[in-house]
Amino acid sequence: MANVDTSLKEAIGIEGAIGVALVDYGSGMALGALGDSPELDLNVAAAGNTDVVRAKMRTMEMLNLHDNEIEDILITLSNQYHLIRPLTRQGGRGLFLYLALTRSRANLAMARHQLKMIEAALEI
């Protein structure tokens, strides 16, 4: 099991990563963040992506998709990928990992796999 700091360090080590945060989608606050890209304010990204997660959760509720969980949400920009991965384990409910990647340097399939492994090992 890995703590928050270790997990964030692993995530920022993913090829192409420019920022990572662990976010509480109840408050929109980043509980931890790593990355020093001038093009990405992680606190703004945490708050903004909270709205994305909440909207998807509301939509799933309206569609009666109770037997499904969000694995991840992918947002593709012309130069970046943004991955949102809600934590599914008991202690992590209400939290998500947010990872921003430079599109030209990232391998999206590997990044998704690595973030899944990081989420599985994360202990809150």
pLDDT attached to residue 67 = 85
Token representation of residue 107: 């391998």
pLDDT attached to residue 27 = 93
Alpha-carbon distance of 73 to 94, in angstroms, equals: 15
The total number of residues written for the chain in this structure: 124
Q: Is residue 111 a contact partner of residue 102, using CB atoms and an 8 Å limit?
A: no
Give pLDDT tens digits along the chain (124 positions).
679 999 999 999 999 999 999 999 999 999 999 998 888 999 999 999 999 999 999 999 999 998 888 999 999 999 999 999 999 876 677 899 999 999 999 999 999 999 999 999 998 8
Residue holding tokens 């899944």? Answer: 116
Q: Which residues pair with 74 in a beta bridge?
A: 83
pLDDT attached to residue 88 = 82
pLDDT attached to residue 90 = 67
pLDDT attached to residue 37 = 86
pLDDT attached to residue 1 = 62
Of the candidates 11, 36, 37, the residue with the CA atom closest to the CA atom of residue 22 = 11
Q: At what angle do helices 4-12 and 108-121 cross, to 10 degrees?
A: 170
pLDDT attached to residue 81 = 97
pLDDT attached to residue 68 = 86
Residue holding tokens 């309206």? Answer: 62
